[in-house]
Structure 1
Amino acid sequence: MIRQITIIFFLVISFASFAQQRQLQRNNGSTLGTGNKDIGDAPKTVIDNREKPPIEDYKIISVENDTTYVDTTLTIYKDYKYNYLRRDNFELLPFSNVGQAYTKLAWDFDEVDLLPDLGAREKHYSYYEVEDIFYYNVPTPFTELFFKTTFEQGQNVDAFFTTNMTPRLNLFIGYRGLRSLGRYQNLMSSQGAFRIGGSFESKNNRYHLKTHFVSQDTNNEENGGLTPVAAQQFLAKDEEFDDRSLLGVNFEDAENMLYTKRFFLKHHYKVVKGNDSTRNNQIRIGHTLNFTDKEYWYNQTSPFFGYGESYKNSNLRDEVEYQRVSNLLYAEYCNNLLGEIAFQVKHSNYNYGYQRKLILDSTTINNRIKGDIVSVGGRYHKKIGGFDLTGDAMINLSEEFSGNYLKAKARYRINEDAVADAALVINSSAPNFNFLLFQSDYVNYNWQNDFDNIQKQELSVNLKSKKWANVSAHLTQINNFTYFGLEDNPNGVTDTITGISSAQMVKPAQYDGNVGYLKLKANRKFEFQNFNLDNTLMYQNVFEGEEVFRVPEFVTRNSLYYEDFWFDKALFLQTGFVYNYFTSFQANAYDPVLAESYVQNSFELEGFHRLDYFFNAKVDQARLFFKLENFISIFDGNNNFVAPLQPYRDFAIRFGIVWDFFL
């Protein structure tokens, strides 16, 4: 189906391009296709003397109508984003292969929802949320190509194309693909993400629409990490095991996968148009549709001793599905004196579960959680002097899944260089569904819980200033923090030969105390002629609940680099070093059955130094990236972990390109 949609889309684009070319010929006075012409006559050459549109005309628009434009510059921040996620991963520590899980060095709690999600959060880092899809308005067709090498075999690519069929109709299409074999046994990553959509507004500017469709699959082979013996060999830096494929892993016959689809539609109609420039007395009605479908499964040929007993002796398969259909209706009134006031009502239908019930001696574990939820709320926006105030609140009208949220934000522009904002987020919602209901062919991985709502309160303050610094502070309190942890397994034992133990088992739990968390982060760049020093420092303090919530106290990134134009400004060059460090802490472990991290008490992740050397260049609209990753391990070797039994990446040479085309 996706292939057919892609073919149809490109046929439409080809037709549009042909039509634009014919129009161009007519505008330039060409006589092609007119008058009497002998068969042997050569066609006349059409020269396009039009001025190229400024880059500011290539607009990128968020789902909330925040607008930026295509940025083709090369900065150190582009280097930070040149990775699998295509965003700055300062707060994440990647596993050994591209497309695997991450160890969190810091947490954010500003996202809100009224209903639980599927779970399997370690497979959602690359997932396209609604906010991750952007819309465009471009004067000419625009294409971006992304390529980066991976580990051993494969590549990471992202191809994107957008065009305006008319000034009011934009279409876009993109595909992101990943394949990486990895350096350890049974650790291949594979991903495909297809996205297509567009935006439209009517001639009279009354009707506006944004829509997209996303289909994504994230597949990983899983090996359970190094065996206890292999972990000791890795720590000893034995040269015999520089070939990482020789290190033993816990199993070589498992994989998990998250497959998702989403159709999204957001549109509104201006019943009373009002004043176009100020929107005074404008009345609009709007509708948002979100249909999301997710499936997660875990396959394993033979059961692994460390996970305890299993109901089957071979071909284990856990599979769960989740569908959610949400329709939101709103009516909004805009007034210069009162501001923008909206009332909204939302209906959500959810369906999560398995194809079977599990009947045990003492209880029965159901196979499905489904129902309907109606929510009501409102939004507010007003500019008062230099302040920009926004608010958004909703509450569920249901006893089955109670929930509510409040978001309030005040933004103030100090001057042309500096902007400050403060935000308050309050959210109460149920834990993800995999905390509430989970079934597996492993005996220990079966539960049904009735947990209380997680209650989050976060206060944040941000200052952005090119002249001084970018500073942010987040103070978070969480009641009923829900997590995965370890419990003693009464039937567990330890294998005396391999050292593998099943004496503890992963279980969901809810903390009966409070979690208090402070995060302070600052960024400042210093310039001296052609040399730059970019510094990011983060301080964190868990002053309550540190037995279940752990982060390093300090995380730092320092980049020292040189940049300049070469060859009569035909090439812009950047080269230098990026240094990273974090202090020691008890990092969460990774469970491939759940695709979740869990709290553990036996492993201390020692803080370690990372040093990368990079050489980047920009030629015309192409940005070239070349990097020596974990450069310091060339001299001292690598025996660092990112989580229990999960080794960090060795030295690697990686390169690639981001190329923008403007037709």
Structure 2
Amino acid sequence: MKRSLLISILFFLLGALGTVNAQRKLTKKPGQLGGDPDGLSVRDSTFSNETRIKLSGKTKYTDYRIFFLQKDTVYVDTTLNIKKEYAFNFLRKDNFELLAFHNQGQTFNTLGYDFSNISSFPDIGRSAKQFFYIEKEDIKYYQVPTPTTEILYRTGMLQGQVLDANFALNFSKRFNVSIAYRGIRSLGQYRRSLASQGNFRSSFHYETKERQYTIKGHIASQDLLNYENGGLTQASLDAFISDDPNFSERGRLDVNLSNTENVFEGERYYFEHDFKLISSKKDTLESANFSNLKVGHTFNIENKLFQFNESVPTSFLGTASTTTALNETVKNKTFNNQIYLEFNSKYVLGRFRVKSNYTSYNYGYDTIYNVNNTPAQLKLKGSAIGLGADWKAKIKNFSLTADALVTPGNSRVGGSHLSGEARYKKDSLFSVKASLLINSKSPNFNFLLQHSTYDDYNWENNFQDINTQDIGFAIESKWINASANFTNIENYAYFDENNTPQQSAENITYLKVKASNEFKYKKFALNNTVMYQNVSSGSSVFRVPDLVTRNTLYYTDYWFKGKPMQVQIGATFKYFSKFKANAYNPLLAEFTLQNTTEIGYPTIDLFFNAQVRRTRIYFKIDNMTSNFRKTKDYFSAPNYPYRDFVIRFGLVWNWFI
């Protein structure tokens, strides 16, 4: 796998060197190459501000486009705003609904759940490791007139650093490629909390001159390693909570595991191509009155692996069948082929697609780890054929989408999925959205089959499908953004306080209401986000805090003569109410129920950010008030303290050739 990655890197770099000079002469018109012309756009100050350096008189910010699998389109954005502050983390996303562990690259506990994009098929599981796993929907495809690069750097915790680098170019006007790598090595403040991860991605997009044939695809290879310490021992936990000065150096605190690590690896190959059987002369992205008929094919093969390693078994995890080193590996290979026929015309108000899926899976173990507790079968295999359709339309100010897929039979990848969305947009004043999701699928494979050297971690279950229904409403305006989701879950799957998989006999009824707005006065702004949650049924197994809030007061201005630098200085207050947060299990790489510890507390972070041309610089102080607390009550999960007062530095740098 490493050799194939090296070959891919060399191929793209050699291609880049050979085409740099040619690309400097390329010009593009917005609205060409993959992407929805009505997609989301963020204005880029690099190209729109006349006081900034121009790349060329023939290029502008709308020429530098990024689109995703669902064809949502954004522009390369080099502005400095509060959303960039929230997303300056290892995930590169706003993690308002997540509670981070103390070290970057460790997992997250969950403060709120989102079921709007639930998968149609079961997975390998190990959900605590998959926060950092880049799914196919997250892969970026580029359309750029010149070579484009973005580098993110951030200091690690105690020792180490974070790097996320993206490079995109085109070999011609219709052939764009990109290569990206995100890596971290951060030691952490506590024993055995090292995070060392790498995510490699490479994507391409090509279309013929008349757009008769298009193809796009990507490869991704990911390796996520974490040392696991099992949290603090009881004596160390007491010393931490009481703020014993002898243990202000966190490396002195004892932990439950001293020789344990887990690894999550993934490798994916994806491509999608289509050919127009019938097309009209008006077949352009700028025209809505065209008709065409195309046939398409999507191919996706993905291999995932989870490995638990321990040099000596420990009683903390239970009784083991051996006293020698553990090296437990479980694999899952999925293969998905889809063919579709797509009709795009004003007569169906947009795009209508009929599709057929063939999906196969192979999950399980190659080795027997416990001769006394071996499941009847070590592998789960199967395949299924599904039929479905999706529709996307636009009628004046209304946008409508619908997607349906049914996979009949008793296969573990059988089930059904139906989702729909209606959006009304009134110019730039406001938009209103309503959504519906009905999903039925098997629990993830690790709920069905688990094999381990430890006696208590062996099972084989025949669980019922999980049925999820979600109704959502949202409004976006210049005054307020708000959303409400009502979710009902039947046969909810979870791990109990004994680390055993269960299905709830009681339906989960979950309400989430979230609102955000920003008040501005001259150079000051107050950005607020509040989330209220209520579990009216099933709260004994589905647990969330009632209230989560984030409030940021900040100042923005341009400094020095000629305004060469924009600055952003502020403080963020975050609070979540007390609840019995789930515990973390490193052998399962899952969160489990616990009934002894409640967590919930406020934090204050300070930040100083600056932008000089196309470089954004970030200074941040995390959990500033921790040094003033006589009782250390801040935890990410039971036995796992949240981070102490720490100062970190980072930057994001874009440049264009």
Q: Which residue of 1 aligns with 2:117?
A: 111
| Deviation string, structure 1 residues 300-352 (Cα, Å, up to 9, x no partner) | 11112122211111201211001011001000112213232211000011100
Tell me the CA shift for residue 133 of structure 1.
0.6
Q: Which residue of 1 aligns with 2:291?
A: 281
Q: Which residue of 1 aligns with 2:305?
A: 295
Is residue 5 from structure 1 mapped to residue 15 from structure 2 by the alignment? Answer: no
Residue 464 of structure 2 aligns to a residue whose secondary structure is coil
Tell me the CA shift for residue 391 of structure 1.
0.6
Residue 204 of structure 1 aligns to a residue whose secondary structure is coil
Is residue 240 from structure 1 mapped to residue 233 from structure 2 by the alignment? Answer: no
Tell me the CA shift for residue 112 of structure 1.
3.1
Picking from 454, 461, 475, the partner of 2:466 is 454
Q: Which residue of 2 aligns with 1:15?
A: 18
Q: Which residue of 1 aligns with 2:395?
A: 384
Tell me the CA shift for residue 420 of structure 1.
1.1
| Deviation string, structure 1 residues 29-81 (Cα, Å, up to 9, x no partner) | xxxxxxxxxxxxxxxxxxx9941611121011111222120111100110000
Q: Which residue of 1 aligns with 2:41?
A: none
Tell me the CA shift for residue 381 of structure 1.
2.0
Residue identity opposite 2:439 in structure 1: N
5+ long unaligned stretches in structure 1: 25-47, 487-504
Q: Which residue of 1 aligns with 2:35?
A: none
Picking from 630, 633, 639, the partner of 2:623 is 630
Bigger Rg over Cα: 1
Picking from 228, 231, 241, the partner of 2:237 is 231
Equivalences for residues 4-83 of structure 1 within 5 A: 4-20=7-23, 50-51=56-57, 53-83=59-89
Residue 303 of structure 1 aligns to a residue whose secondary structure is coil
Q: Which residue of 2 aligns with 1:644?
A: 638
Contact kept? 1:200, 1:208, Cα under 8 Å: yes
d(CA) in 1 for partners of 2:292 and 2:24? 40
Residue identity opposite 2:7 in structure 1: Q
Q: Tell me the TM-score normalized by structure 2.
A: 0.92
Picking from 417, 420, 424, the partner of 1:405 is 417
Tell me the CA shift for residue 601 of structure 1.
0.9
Q: Which residue of 2 aligns with 1:578?
A: 572
Residue identity opposite 1:471 in structure 2: A
Q: Which residue of 2 aligns with 1:139?
A: 145
| Deviation string, structure 1 residues 527-578 (Cα, Å, up to 9, x no partner) | 0000000000000000110000000000000000110111221100100101
Tell me the CA shift for residue 656 of structure 1.
0.6
Tell me the CA shift for residue 356 of structure 1.
3.4
Residue 131 of structure 2 aligns to a residue whose secondary structure is coil
Contact kept? 1:564, 1:574, Cα under 8 Å: yes
Residue 146 of structure 1 aligns to a residue whose secondary structure is strand
Equivalences for residues 92-103 of structure 1 within 5 A: 92-103=98-109
Q: Which residue of 2 aligns with 1:429?
A: 441
Tell me the CA shift for residue 248 of structure 1.
0.7
Q: Which residue of 2 aligns with 1:613?
A: 606
Picking from 595, 618, 633, the partner of 1:601 is 595
Is residue 521 from structure 1 mapped to residue 531 from structure 2 by the alignment? Answer: no
Picking from 143, 153, 161, the partner of 2:167 is 161
Tell me the CA shift for residue 181 of structure 1.
0.5
Residue identity opposite 2:428 in structure 1: E
Calculate the aligned-residue CA RMSD, in Å.
Answer: 1.7
Contact kept? 1:357, 1:364, Cα under 8 Å: no
d(CA) in 2 for partners of 1:270 and 1:571? 50
d(CA) in 2 for partners of 1:15 and 1:552? 55
Contact kept? 1:317, 1:441, Cα under 8 Å: no
d(CA) in 2 for partners of 1:441 and 1:51? 66
Residue identity opposite 1:461 in structure 2: F
Tell me the CA shift for residue 126 of structure 1.
1.2
Contact kept? 1:357, 1:365, Cα under 8 Å: no
d(CA) in 2 for partners of 1:357 and 1:381? 49
Residue 245 of structure 1 aligns to a residue whose secondary structure is helix
Picking from 348, 366, 386, the partner of 1:355 is 366
d(CA) in 2 for partners of 1:181 and 1:414? 50
Tell me the CA shift for residue 626 of structure 1.
0.3
Residue identity opposite 2:579 in structure 1: F
d(CA) in 2 for partners of 1:193 and 1:55? 28
Residue 86 of structure 1 aligns to a residue whose secondary structure is coil
d(CA) in 2 for partners of 1:597 and 1:138? 42
Is residue 255 from structure 1 mapped to residue 255 from structure 2 by the alignment? Answer: no
| Deviation string, structure 1 residues 153-205 (Cα, Å, up to 9, x no partner) | 11000111001211101010011110000111111000011111110110121
Tell me the CA shift for residue 278 of structure 1.
2.3
Q: Which residue of 1 aligns with 2:654?
A: 660
Contact kept? 1:265, 1:289, Cα under 8 Å: yes
| Deviation string, structure 1 residues 609-652 (Cα, Å, up to 9, x no partner) | 11011000000000000011111113226441111111110010
Residue 579 of structure 2 aligns to a residue whose secondary structure is coil
Residue 337 of structure 1 aligns to a residue whose secondary structure is helix
Residue 125 of structure 1 aligns to a residue whose secondary structure is helix
d(CA) in 1 for partners of 2:400 and 2:24? 47
d(CA) in 2 for partners of 1:346 and 1:135? 24
Tell me the CA shift for residue 140 of structure 1.
1.1
Residue identity opposite 1:543 in structure 2: S
Tell me the CA shift for residue 398 of structure 1.
2.4
Residue 455 of structure 2 aligns to a residue whose secondary structure is coil
Q: Tell me the TM-score normalized by structure 1.
A: 0.91
Q: Which residue of 2 aligns with 1:366?
A: 377
Q: Which residue of 2 aligns with 1:148?
A: 154
Residue 194 of structure 1 aligns to a residue whose secondary structure is strand
Residue 240 of structure 2 aligns to a residue whose secondary structure is helix
Contact kept? 2:421, 2:435, Cα under 8 Å: yes
Structure 1 pair 526/309, CA: closer, same or farther in 2 (3 Å)? same
Q: Which residue of 1 aligns with 2:455?
A: 443
Percent sequence identity is 40
Residue 632 of structure 1 aligns to a residue whose secondary structure is helix
Residue identity opposite 1:328 in structure 2: Q
d(CA) in 2 for partners of 1:571 and 1:362? 64
Tell me the CA shift for residue 357 of structure 1.
5.2
d(CA) in 2 for partners of 1:173 and 1:19? 19
Give runs of ≥4 in structure 1 deviating > 6 Å.
Answer: 21-24, 358-363
Tell me the CA shift for residue 132 of structure 1.
0.4
| Deviation string, structure 1 residues 253-293 (Cα, Å, up to 9, x no partner) | 00000010001101111111123122533101111111100
d(CA) in 1 for partners of 2:144 and 2:316? 55
Contact kept? 1:358, 1:367, Cα under 8 Å: no
Contact kept? 2:277, 2:293, Cα under 8 Å: yes
Is residue 510 from structure 1 mapped to residue 503 from structure 2 by the alignment? Answer: yes
Equivalences for residues 470-619 of structure 1 within 5 A: 470-486=481-497, 505-567=498-560, 568-605=562-599, 607-619=600-612
Residue identity opposite 2:410 in structure 1: E
Residue 15 of structure 2 aligns to a residue whose secondary structure is helix
d(CA) in 2 for partners of 1:22 and 1:554? 54
d(CA) in 2 for partners of 1:252 and 1:136? 44
Contact kept? 1:147, 1:657, Cα under 8 Å: yes
Residue 151 of structure 1 aligns to a residue whose secondary structure is coil
